[in-house]
Amino acid sequence: MTSPEFPSVPVTEVPSAALLLDVREDDEWRLGHAPGAVHIPMADIPARADELDYDREVYVVCRQGGRSPQVAQYLARIGYDVVQVTGGMVAWQKAGLPLTAEGDHEAEIY
Q: What is the DSSP string of 9-69?
A: EEGGGS-TT-EEEE-S-HHHHHH-B-TT-EE--GGGHHHHGGGS-TTS-EEEE-SSSSSHH
32 close to 92: Cβ distance less than 8 angstroms: no
Residue 84 has φ and ψ, to the nearest 5°, of: -90, 135
Distance, CA of 48 to CA of 110 (rounded, Å): 27
Active site residue 59: no
- Among 61, 62, 76, 109, the active-site one is 62
Q: Would you name the residues annotated as active-site residues?
A: 62
